[in-house]
Structure 1
Amino acid sequence: MMQSLKFLHTADLHIGAPIRGFRDLSDAWAVRLQDAIALAYDRVIDTALENDVDFVVLAGDAFDTSRPSYGDYLHFFDGLERLHAAGIPLYLTPGNHDPLSTWRAGMAKLPPSAHMMGGEAPEFALYEREGEPLCLIGARGYRNQAWPLDESISAGISRTSAIRALETRFPHAARAPFSLGLIHTGLDLDQSKAFCNPGDLLAADIDYWACGHLHQRLTLPTYGNPRIVFPGCIQGRDLKESGERGCFIVSMNRTDEFSEVHTTLNFVPTANIAFHTISVDISTCQTLADVSRLTLTHLFHACAKTGCDDMVVRVVLEGESPLHRFLAKADVLADLRKRLNNAYPAFFCDTLLDRTRLPRQRRASIDGSLFPDHVLHIANEQRSHGDEMVNYIQDEFVKRGIDLPSSLARRMDDFNDAAETLVLDLLDEEAS
């Protein structure tokens, strides 16, 4: 007989987190950003109700801080009450932003259908449908805001250990066809946050590891065979957290006790605002009006891809263009950015960057001398010796008692391009 299970997997709500780093916001956009995470959380709850899931799992970091505001606290619990009224259980584990010590110190009692699990040690629960065991759940989360480096957060979670822990209260627990692990971990991608070896998880007798902490979606070993899953955060908070954000509806099926579990994922977007960095090649543009129209076309395309109501963007203008000299002027860029922000209320351009270059024929004619060729030759030489350049800059930073950010080391080609363009621009000004 076919057995099936459907649940919602979410994580990293970060309710109460500020969305910072944006400038010149209108009052309307300030309100949109302030309300974005709360609205995304509402969509998570709506998704659970609309899909009539068996239960919801929340893999840590419900709150962004260990001391959420009273309003954030009430909003979160209102969602739990909606699930409770619909008869949908919630299984959650504490994350590094909202460890168990926080929940014990300042939180009210959870609704009867909400179960905080695994703050002190691996903890287990059995989900039943109409009195029949359906899913074994093992969880482990943060007791405080740090995790021991010599301890795996998944240790002790297995189907066997779940049956052993539950069999006294539920003698029929072993008949449950599905098993789920609920943990808040950085895997081996962020080893400072509850390191866990993905190979160990895949080798464990757990059908599905519902994980949290990584803000990007991740499925291992593949999307078609999801054993380890991160849904990512439900709402981006800055331009680094770009693209779609949401949760997963997880469907698991098994034909009999001897067959393999078949798991499928359905991603449901929940973000109200999308963040994007968009590159626009303006090499075909003849006027600034052309640049504005082409940029808006790119913005509409990106918005359609994400399906969000609103979008905050950083726009990077690229390509070889005769408009390069105009775009190098701060007031021209500021006016173009203002024009974009006035064109369509659902888009907000926070930053407009000019990375265009002079057309090749113009660069070749600068000053009629060989010096520009010499500049280009040096720039190409630097690109071919990237490690030497990083070592040189690292040495200069050390002399000044400053750490070299790893992000700078990865952007040496960008810096070479910018330096080359700057020198050629200065030569162009001299020749004009």
Structure 2
Amino acid sequence: MKEIKFLHIADLHLDSPFIGLSTLPQPLFSAVQESTFQSLERIITIAIKEAVEFVLIAGDIYDSEDQSVRAQARFSKEMKRLEQAGIKAFIIHGNHDFIEKHKEKLQLPGNVHVFSEQVEMAAMETKNGAIVHIYGFSYGERHIRASRVNEYNKQGEADFHIGLLHGSELSSSEDHDVYAPFRIQEITKKGFDYWALGHIHKRQLLAESPSVYYPGNIQGRNRKESGEKGASIVTLSASNTTIDFIATSPIIWEEVIITLPENSEINTFYREITKLLATYQGQSNSFFLHVIVQMANKQKINTTDWLQMLQEETDLTGSTFIWVHKLTIELTNQSDLKNWHEQHLASKEITQAFEKLQDESAFYQTVEALYFESGVSRYLDDLSEEDRQLMLDAALTELGTVLKEVEGDEK
């Protein structure tokens, strides 16, 4: 029974500007800028060590259509390493790095096949004699709203047919713009043996027979892209598919929780957070941490003051770092505050204001000044409906906490 082994990655986003992190200390920011390249280097080393038969890259190799010569040269160097190891690479361009016909680019080595703007098939034969047909297309513009699934059709005889697609599964794309949309039911009926997807930055196996798989991006770039990132080794036979994830990202974003007993003193918090940070020491990765402090009494901790202290104490001299990028308080008596406004003297007015802000246009009218402030707007993420609701719930709880303090009713 014939079997093939290949490596699947997507969403490298080389040359990402990391604008929102540009205020970091220079050693940290330099490490962040290098992180996507470092992850790619590790991935190619793994591909060579594992002796995969080919590499699939499912779009967004670069972060924008304007790729620097530096980024192109670094990517070409890694493709050359594959060529020297006798490994082919099949790549498509996505919405971030779409092909611009009149822009001159550095030439990639001969082992690399770049798919054109039309769905096409590339054939190869492995060292063990397995015939593989790989199908895909590159974006020729940033926005491809129409489905391209109908253009994916098996051609000729082959042991394995693999689809390479940078796009959105319609039922699970709420956190990303929808491009080249598809439905699982559509592509699983195409008779392919594996679908190598890109565009969604979270690792997801959408179907098992055949496997329809997003490998996620190779390096988290913000708090929403938390956890380990890397590459996936796929072993495919007529009867079975095995997908093995291998972490390669040098920097990991994590959310961690410290729970403090009621009426804890600041020395208790200092001891607990010192203990927490010590658990990350000596690891081979760097970390961006969002520390959530669960406690019953909020005013004892000035988060701005503590965050500044933790950041100033960060060791920037080593090969890795542990950076607390956010410190928030989570009250353990939230249930007491959840419906506080229903019994308040201003219950009617508070409820009306809260309900008004549920409307998307009213919400953005309230916060639009932030988006017109040049020093702030570039750091603001797009907000989903869930994000807006979380902000409103948090604001309502915060208002309840402040009013209790002002009115002298805090227990």
- Specify whether residues 51 and 300 from structure 1 end up closer, same or farther in structure 2 by C-alpha distance, changes over 3 A only: farther
**Residue-by-residue CA offset, 1:372-395 (whole Å, 9 max, x unaligned):** 99946548x99xx99994444537
Mapped contact 2:27–2:316 kept (Cα < 8 A): no
In the alignment, which of 157, 162, 165 is matched to residue 183 of structure 1? 165
Structure 1 gaps, min length 5: 164-173, 255-260, 364-371
Amino acid at match of 1:280: I
**For residues 143 and 329 of structure 1, do their structure 2 counterparts lie closer, same or farther at Cα, with a shift above 3 Å needed?**
closer
Residue among 298, 308, 325 paired with 1:350: 325
Residues 1:107 and 2:128 aligned together? no
Q: What is the CA–CA distance in structure 2 between the aligned matches of 1:101 and 1:23, rounded to whole Å?
A: 28
Distance 1:298 1:113, change over 3 A: same
Q: How far did 1:419 drift?
A: 1.9
CA deviations 1:64-112 (Å, max 9, x no partner) are 111111211110100010001111000001111111226x622122211
Equivalent position of 1:275 in the other structure:
253
Q: How many angstroms apart in 1 are the aligned matches of 2:84 and 2:310?
A: 51
**Residue 88 of structure 2 corresponds to residue 89 of structure 1:** yes
SS of 2:30's partner is helix
Q: 1:292 to 1:116 in 2, by over 3 A?
A: same
Which structure is larger by alpha-carbon Rg, 1 or 2?
Answer: 1
| Residue 181 (structure 1) shift | 0.2
CA distance in 2, matches of 1:49, 1:329: 47
Q: Please say if 1:232 is aligned against 2:216.
A: yes
SS at match of 1:334: helix
- Correspondent of 2:149 among 137, 144, 154: 154
Q: Identity across aligned pairs (percent)? A: 23
Mapped pair 1:319 → 2:295: yes
TM-score, length-normalised on structure 1?
Answer: 0.79
Give the C-alpha shift of residue 48 in structure 1.
0.7
The structure-2 alpha-carbon separation of the partners of 1:301 and 1:94, relative to structure 1 and needing over 3 Å to count, comes to same
Does structure 2 retain, via aligned residues, the 8 Å contact 1:18–1:237? no
Instruction: Give distance in 1, aligned partners of 2:77 and 2:200.
Output: 26
How far is the alpha carbon of 1:397 from its aligned partner? 3.7
Residue 8 of structure 1 corresponds to 7
Q: 1:285 Cα shift?
A: 7.7
Distance in 2 between residues matched to 1:357 and 1:275, nearest whole Å:
24
Give 1:409 deviation, angstroms.
2.3
Equivalent pairs, count: 388
1:210–1:396 distance in 2 versus 1, CA, 3 Å? closer
Q: Does 1:217 align with 2:203?
A: yes
Counterpart residue identity of residue 223, structure 2: L
Q: Does 1:421 align with 2:405?
A: no
**CA RMSD for the aligned pairs?**
3.6
Give 1:66-85 correspondences, 5 Å limit: 66-85=65-84
1:202 aligned to 2:188?
A: yes
Partner letter of residue 106 of structure 2?
A: A
Asked if the contact 1:219–1:226 (Cα under 8 Å) also holds between the matched residues in 2, the reply is no
Distance (whole Å) between structure 1 residues aligned to residue 254 and residue 89 of structure 2: 32
Question: Could you give the per-residue CA deviations for residues 213-257 of structure 1, whole angstroms, max 9, x where no partner exists?
Answer: 1111111125xx562111111001111111111111000123xxx
Deviations 1:12-51 (A, max 9, x none): 1110002232376333212211211110111111111111
Q: Which amino acid aligns with 1:310?
A: S
Higher relative helix content: 1
Indicate conservation of the 8 Å contact 2:80/2:109, yes or no: yes
1:263 alignment partner in structure 2: 241
**Residue in structure 1 matching 2:114, options 86, 108, 116:** 116
- AA aligned to 1:207 is D
- Cα distance change, pair 57–389 in 1 and its aligned pair in 2 (3 A): same
- Aligned letter for 2:112? A
Classify 1:253/1:386 alpha carbon distance in 2 versus 1 (closer, same or farther; 3 Å): farther
SS in 1 for 2:81: helix
Change (3 A) 1:281 1:401: closer
Q: Structure 1: how far apart are the matches of 2:82 and 2:352?
A: 55
Code of the residue aligned with 2:108 in structure 1: it is L
2-side partners of 1:206 and 1:94: how far apart? 21
Return closer, same or farther for 1:68/1:431 CA change in 2, 3 Å cut-off.
closer
Distance 1:184 1:409 in 2: 30
2:133 is the counterpart of 1:136: yes
For residue 300 of structure 2, give the secondary structure of its aligned residue in structure 1.
helix
Check 1:313–1:130 CA distance in 2 against 1; reply closer, same or farther (3 A cut). closer
Asked whether 1:145 is paired with 2:142, we answer yes
With over 3 angstroms needed to count, the CA separation of the structure-2 counterparts of 1:140 and 1:24, relative to structure 1, is closer
Offset of residue 9 of structure 1: 0.2
8 Å CA contact 2:203–2:214 kept in 1: the answer is yes
CA distance in 1, matches of 2:138, 2:338: 60
Q: What secondary structure sits across from 1:242 in the alignment?
A: coil
Q: Quote the residue 1:334 is aligned against.
A: 308
Contact 2:7 2:47 in 1 (8 A): yes
Structure 1 residue aligned with 2:378? none
Q: Counterparts of 1:312 and 1:355 in 2: how far apart (Å)?
A: 19
SS state at 2:388 partner: helix
Cα 1:359/1:267, change in 2 over 3 Å: closer
Off by >6 Å, runs of 4+ in structure 1: 340-345, 357-360, 385-388
Report if aligned partners of 2:295, 2:329 keep a CA contact under 8 Å in 1.
no
C-alpha separation in 2, matches of 1:5 and 1:386: 61
Question: Bigger CA drift: 309-318 or 351-360?
Answer: 351-360
- SS for the counterpart of 2:272 is helix
Normalised to the residue count of structure 2, the TM-score between the two structures is 0.83
Report what 1:170 is aligned to.
none
> Which whole-Å CA distance do the structure 1 matches of 2:354 and 2:338 have between them?
21
Q: Answer with 191-200 or 397-406: which moved more.
A: 397-406
> What is the one-letter code of the residue matched to 2:396?
N
Q: CA distance change for structure 1 residues 300 and 136 in 2, over 3 Å: closer, same or farther?
A: farther
Do the aligned partners of 2:135 and 2:152 also contact (CA within 8 Å) in 1? yes
Instruction: For residue 108 of structure 1, give the secondary structure of its aligned residue in structure 2.
Output: coil
1:399/1:43 CA distance change after superposition, 3 Å: closer
Cα distance between partner residues in 1 of 2:264 and 2:317: 20
